[in-house]
Structures are given as structure tokens and as C-alpha cells.
């Protein structure tokens, strides 16, 4: 069975056919899905899906794009939401200096608030980073020095240097359909080298559909295509990669297990 470690089931493109998307995922062998939020207004909705669907779990967080809209995100508020039995992670949060949709200092403040919540709640942090490698690595290293916490770099598109820095801090690395894109040569080099016990797979649905679904709306069933591609890239059977990534998910997101 596969795990889609990062999807957005309440987003446009999936929410209107959520039942169908879930059925197709199950038919494709997806046994667990983690439904991610990006703003506070989504928290109730992602939790509701997780309450209704036994194979769906929820994460609560504020995306860096939304940092300006949530200028006073509090660690205590995040921790309180984590008390819900179906909330198994915090995020997504992080730094995005590519679009700069929010003030960078506000992104940094929000990121650290999420890290503090992950540490206090004992739940893993789901990290978004784009064009902010040095800041992301430095922030994570600084915060790990204050006290341990676990996490994953979701939808990894960074350099080998970032991967090594995050692995050294104990983080997991998750690959989306981007690794299947024809121009993702450097990313595939990284994907070959991530240790088997630190690897996760995801769709980030409804975005980033993998080959052979490029141009279509992405959905959790497509994590199987990314898994098959990664298995070939790493020279292992897809069944083995499914077992490894499922075990990794259960180890990291222990509350879901």
C-alpha cells in the first residue's frame, strides 16, 4: 500500500469530486492520505474530512504565502488544534522567497512559531521551502539546537546540499510528481541518494501531476505513478519502495499509526 504524505483534498479541483478521488486512490493502492491545510480557515475542513474518512489524517498550519494574512499566528493556537486525535502533523509552513507573497520577516516569524508548536506538541513539522535554501537550513539548524523536533521537507526540489543539511538534522525528504518531469535531472540525482529510511512520496494534489498525467488535475491515486518512477530510478521493486515509504510515514507521523 502507498501513502500520499501530502495532498489538499479540500482544494478546488478535488473537493467537488472528493468521494471519487478517494475511491480512485484506494483502487490504486493508496492506504493513507495526509490532508494538509495552508490557512487557519481550512483547519476545520481538513479535520472534518479526517473524522469522516478512516484513511485520511489532517495537518494544521499556515503556508508562507499566507503569513501576511495571519500576522499573529500563535504557537499555543497550533498546539491546541493538535490535541484533536486526527491531527498528526503541523504545516505546511516554511519560507517561500520565489513568489514573495508575504513579507520575509513575517514568514520567518511564522515558521519559528510552527517549529515551536511541533516541538511542544511532539508532532512532525511539514516544511515548504522555495528559493530560500540558506534561510531554511539555518533556521532548522538553529531551532534543532534549542530542542529536538521531527519533520519532512515536502515536495523537495532543492539542491543536494539542502538535502544533506536536512538529513543531517534528522529530517525526511518527500518527492512529488516533479521528480518525473523531463527536465528534473538534478532532482533525480538527489532522489537516488536519499536513504531508504528517510524517503517519503506525495502528490501535493491537486497540483503537480506526475508523468503520465502531466497537464491534468493531480489526485492522490497518482502517488502510485511517482512511486513506480522512483522505484525504477533507485533500482528497487515498487513493492519494496511502497513498504519503505509507508514504514517511514508511520515512523514520522507516529500518531497516525
Asked if 89 contacts 123 with a C-beta cutoff of 8 angstroms, the reply is: yes
Q: What is the mean pLDDT of the chain?
A: 97
pLDDT for residue 6: 98
- Ordered by where they begin, the domains of the chain are 2-256 (3.20.20.140)
Q: Which residues of 31-64 are buried (b: 16+ CB within 10 A; e: fewer)?
A: ebbbbbbbebebbeebbebbeebebbbbbbbbbb
Across the beta sheet with 30-36, what order do the strands follow?
2-7, 30-36, 56-60, 87-96, 125-130, 151-153, 172-175, 199-201
pLDDT tens, 37-72?
Answer: 999 999 999 999 999 999 999 999 999 999 999 988
Distance of CA 97 to the CA centre of its chain: 18
Residue 235 Ramachandran class (φ > 0 left, ψ -120 to 50 alpha, else beta)? left
With a cut of 70, which residues of the chain have pLDDT below it? none
Assigned C-alpha cell, 240: 519494496
Give the annotated binding-site residues for a divalent metal cation: 6, 8, 92, 128, 154, 204
pLDDT for residue 81: 97
139-143: Cβ within 8 A, 24+ apart: 139/95, 139/108, 139/111, 139/112, 139/115, 140/115, 140/165, 140/166, 140/169, 140/171, 141/165, 141/169, 143/112, 143/115, 143/116, 143/119
What would you measure as the largest C-alpha separation in the chain, in angstroms? 47
Give the annotated binding-site residues: 6, 8, 92, 128, 154, 204
Is the pTM higher than 0.95? The answer reads yes
pLDDT for residue 72: 86
pLDDT for residue 101: 95
Amino acid at each position: 500500500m502507498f501513502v500520499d504524505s501530502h495532498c489538499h483534498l479540500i482544494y478546488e479541483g478535488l473537493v467537488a469530486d472528493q468521494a471519487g478521488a478517494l475511491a480512485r486512490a484506494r483502487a490504486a493502492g493508496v492506504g493513507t492520505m495526509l490532508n494538509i491545510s495552508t490557512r487557519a480557515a481550512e483547519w476545520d475542513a481538513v479535520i472534518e474530512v479526517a473524522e469522516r474518512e478512516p484513511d485520511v489524517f489532517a495537518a494544521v498550519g499556515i503556508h508562507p504565502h499566507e503569513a501576511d494574512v495571519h500576522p499573529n499566528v500563535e504557537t499555543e493556537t497550533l498546539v491546541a488544534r493538535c490535541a484533536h486525535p486526527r491531527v498528526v502533523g503541523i504545516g505546511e509552513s516554511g519560507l517561500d522567497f520565489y513568489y514573495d507573497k508575504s513579507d520575509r520577516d513575517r514568514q520567518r516569524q511564522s515558521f519559528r512559531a510552527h517549529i515551536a508548536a511541533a516541538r511542544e506538541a511532539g508532532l512532525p513539522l511539514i516544511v515548504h521551502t522555495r528559493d530560500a535554501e540558506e534561510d531554511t537550513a539555518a533556521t532548522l539548524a538553529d531551532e534543532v539546537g534549542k530542542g529536538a523536533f521531527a519533520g519532512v521537507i515536502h515536495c523537495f526540489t532543492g539542491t543536494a546540499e539542502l538535502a544533506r543539511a536536512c538529513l543531517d538534522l534528522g529530517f525526511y525528504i518527500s518527492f512529488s510528481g516533479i521528480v518525473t518531469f523531463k527536465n528534473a535531472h538534478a532532482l533525480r540525482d538527489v532522489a537516488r541518494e536519499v536513504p531508504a529510511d528517510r524517503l517519503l512520496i506525495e502528490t501535493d494534489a491537486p497540483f503537480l501531476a506526475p508523468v503520465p498525467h502531466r497537464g491534468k488535475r493531480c489526485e492522490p491515486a497518482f502517488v502510485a505513478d511517482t512511486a513506480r518512477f522512483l522505484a525504477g530510478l533507485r533500482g528497487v521493486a515498487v513493492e519494496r519502495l511502497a513498504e519503505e515509504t509507508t514504514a517511514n510515514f508511520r515512523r514520522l507521523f507516529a500518531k497516525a499509526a
